[in-house]
Structures are given as C-alpha cells and as structure tokens.
Amino acid sequence: MGKRKRDCAGSTTVAAIFSIFLVAFTIITVYLFIAKPWWFPPSITEVGNLIDSQFHRTLVITGIVFVLAQLGLAWVIWRYRDQGKAATYSEGNNTMEVVWTLATIVLFVGLGLYAESAWAIVHFTPAQAGDLQIEVVGQQFQWNFRYAGADGKFGRYKTVEQALAQRKRGDQSATPWQLDMTDPDAKDDILTPIIAVPVNREVELLIRSMDVTHSFFVRELRLKQDAVPGMTIHMHFTATKTGDYELACAELCGLGHYRMKSTFRVLSDADFAQWLKDQAASQ
Ligand SMILES: [Cu+2]
C-alpha cells in the first residue's frame, strides 16, 4: 500500500523543467528582438521606412501574442502537472474557438489593410515622367545594366534573324542580346556591370531576363523584384542616402547563383554625372 502511494504521488520535476524552459526561452527571444544584435541594414527609401514601420507594428502585435501564449503554456503545464489524481479532460469550448478565430482574422486583415498603402506606392502607382530609366538584365550568372545615354532613348537589340545571319557569316559570338548598332538610338547607350543612381531622384528600373527567372534584390531599398524571361517589369524608387550597397540575385537561378552579385551605388548628382561619363568613355 505504501509503495503504491509513492507511485501516485505525482511528479513536480518534469513540469518544473518544462515551465522554466518556456519562460527562459520567451525571455531570450524577446531580448533578441529588442536588443537587435542581428537586424536589417537601415532603409534608404521612404517606402523602405513605411515597410519597416509596418514590420514593427506586426512584430509588436505578434510579439505580445507570442509572449502571452508561451507564458500561458508554461502556467498550464505547471498548474495541471501530475498530482497523483485521475486526469480530467475537457471536450473544448466553442465560445473560445470562435473568439480566437475571429481575433486572428481581424488581426491579419487589419494588418493587411494597414500595409496596403506601402504596397500600392511601389506596385500600383506609376513612376513620374522625367525619372531616370535604367534597364536591368539578369543572366546566368551576372547582372547587366543599360543607360539610355544623351538622347534618353534605349536603342534596339539585334533581332534573332540578325544574330543568326551574323553567325552564318562566322561571328559565333552574335546573340539577340547585343545592341543593333544600325539603330541611331543604340549608339550612345551605356552598358555597365554595376548600377549607379543619383541620390534623391526617382529611378525607374526596366527589369528583364535573358534566360531563367532571377530576382533583383537590394536590402536597403527594401525592394525585391523577379526578372522574368519575356517580360519587362517596371519598378521605381528614390534612394535618399549615398553609398555602396550589395545587389544580389534572390532567386535560385542555377549552379552559379551564389556569385550573381553586383554593386548598387547611390551617388550625388555631380558624382553620378561623372560616373556615367566615365562609363560612356570606356564603351
Ligand atoms: Cu540569378
């Protein structure tokens, strides 16, 4: 009888370990989000600031839910630990089911509506007239950029027929992604391996791809856009801080994907004009 009583006395250890672990885990997680030892680089666009504010709003709301849920779980584990009695069970509570389902819907839809304006500025509002257009072409495994030059017009690329005819004549390097130099608009186009933009001026990218899907991603712009073969996708922004930033391909595009990087450079007006002049001279 005495032995059986000891068997049924219940256990505090397992419940204590689990509860303490959950509380410690919650405190460490919250600390990492507040102290921010690892965080995004600062945004350099107004849209980026809007996105960051939205991110923080979402993080605060979901953070509060997270903390309450983890502490609640720790409390339940401790409160209903094995106390040597027969277990009771509940078959659920419809009111609570309805309440937390509705609360989740309100939260998600609300945050979505709140974020809509930041999304719309980039995706539904066209760029202003007179912005600086730059063509971006993704290719396994590099980025190519093109500026329209003094005439402000992008020249034609070779047609497939032109490239094929050139190949027949023995020039095996001919492809339809080379400028057609018989087009006067193409003569002053400037091709570059890195992209530079003037600070505080609206830039419109025309994003294309030669082969597979790539993705134009600069963390500081808070923008990421796929480059899709056969399409020209427009994206616009105004960078507000000079500096050199990393441009990466954010779409797994083949074995060399990891080295598909370039530099995104934001320059003052004078530096940009000089840079473009240097690039033109080296064509
Ligand atoms: Cu790529």
Give the distance (Å) from ligand 1 centre to CA of residue 217: 10
d(CA 133, CA 228): 18
Give the distance (Å) from ligand 1 centre to CA of residue 242: 25
d(CA 133, CA 208): 13
The answer to whether 177 and 137 have CB atoms below 8 angstroms apart is yes
Give the distance (Å) from ligand 1 centre to CA of residue 1: 73
Give the distance (Å) from ligand 1 centre to CA of residue 225: 11
Give the distance (Å) from ligand 1 centre to CA of residue 259: 9
The reported pLDDT for the residue numbered 8 is: 54
The reported pLDDT for the residue numbered 243 is: 96
The reported pLDDT for the residue numbered 3 is: 45
Checking DSSP bridges between strand 214-218 and strand 142-147, what pairing results, if any?
unpaired
Cβ-in-10-Å burial (0-12, 13-18, 19+) of 260 comes to buried
Give the distance (Å) from ligand 1 centre to CA of residue 120: 26
The answer to whether 15 and 78 have CB atoms below 8 angstroms apart is yes
The reported pLDDT for the residue numbered 196 is: 96
Give the distance (Å) from ligand 1 centre to CA of residue 144: 11
For residue 189, what are the contacts with CB-CB under 8 A and spacing of at least 6? 146, 147, 148, 149, 154, 155, 179
The reported pLDDT for the residue numbered 1 is: 41
Per-residue pLDDT tens digits of the chain, which is 283 residues long = 444 444 555 678 889 999 999 999 999 999 999 999 999 999 999 999 999 999 999 999 999 999 999 999 999 999 988 888 888 888 889 999 999 999 999 999 999 888 888 888 887 888 888 889 999 999 999 999 999 988 888 988 888 888 898 889 988 888 888 888 888 888 889 999 999 999 999 999 999 999 999 999 999 999 999 999 999 999 999 999 999 999 999 999 999 999 999 999 999 999 999 999 999 998 8
The answer to whether 135 and 146 have CB atoms below 8 angstroms apart is yes
Give the distance (Å) from ligand 1 centre to CA of residue 35: 34
Whole-prediction pTM = 0.81
